[in-house]
Amino acid sequence: MFADLLKNMKQFCVIGNPIEHSISPKLHNAAYKAFSIDAAYTKILLENGGKLRETLLTYEGANITVPHKEAAFSVCDKIEGIAAQIEAVNTIVKKNDKLIGFNTDADGFFEAIKEFGKVENALVLGAGGAAKAIAFILRQNGIETAILNRSVERLEFFRQKGFKSFSWGSFAPKKYDIVINTTTAGLKDNVLPAPAEILNETLKSARFGFDAIYNKKTPFLKLCDEFGLKYKDGSDMLLYQAVFAFNIFFDNVYDETKIAQIMKKSL
């Protein structure tokens, strides 16, 4: 009987590596319960990105986190919205055995920083899928955006898309309204996302700091605090990308304000 119930229940998940820290199941399962949806959401550790598509096809929908967002883009049958520009996907739905990819990180991030007020320019640390989402949504909203990454190779995408891009060796600090960490530095260690001398020089003239890592005051955010910046971790970005992803899973029939209220309570 229980096995039959599970078989009929819609199955969703979040896929990444590492994944044990993810609270996405808590957010989505709280919303399923509140809306009386017969579904379950779990987390999947996937070390081999080559198995991403076959894993995704066993679920009705999924969220993708590091390091698989760019691989997720390549395994989709169709791409919708800003994900086509970003070339990174964090939300996938399965329809007629086809995978359709979206990116809710971009809108989730921008919703999260609205309380900062007016921002004219930004520095994004890192060059992965989250960096792409954030860079594109910033530019879409008229904010001049530069990218800083340790290696030169991963900057090529951003250069081709017209972003000012710097490696650690070529970067000359200037004034940025907001500095954003999209790397995993500080997630499971006490490492800064860039050399201290670069960050010190940059943060002393910044107004805001943001770290995509959530539920943790990372070394980067501690440094922002030392320089007196107003700062946020990635909790609200996680919340809002989950709200938008939830509605994509269910054809946008639910009220996003209500979804956000339910998910926020679960936090």
83 in Cβ contact with 140 (< 8 Å)? no
Torsions phi, psi of 51, nearest 5?
-100, 15
Residue 23 domain boundaries? 2-103+236-266
CB atoms within 10 A of CB 39: 18
Q: Quick one: 241 and 253 in the same domain?
A: yes
Q: Quick one: 40 and 140 in the same domain?
A: no
Q: Quick one: 112 and 228 in the same domain?
A: yes
Structure confidence at residue 2 (pLDDT)? 41
**What's the whole-number mean pLDDT along residues 38-47?**
98
Task: Kindly tell me if the per-residue pLDDT of 253 is higher than 90.
Answer: yes
Task: Kindly tell me if the per-residue pLDDT of 238 is higher than 50.
Answer: yes
Report d(CA 142, CA 254) in Å as an integer.
30
Q: Quick one: 137 and 182 in the same domain?
A: yes
Report d(CA 251, CA 81) in Å as an integer.
15
Longest CA–CA span in the chain (Å) reads 64
**What's the whole-number mean pLDDT along residues 78-96?**
97
Number of domains the chain contains:
2
| pLDDT averaged over every residue in the chain | 95
Q: Which residues are catalytic?
A: 69
106 in Cβ contact with 69 (< 8 Å)? no
CATH number at residue 95: 3.40.50.10860
CATH number at residue 158: 3.40.50.720
Q: Quick one: 159 and 215 in the same domain?
A: yes
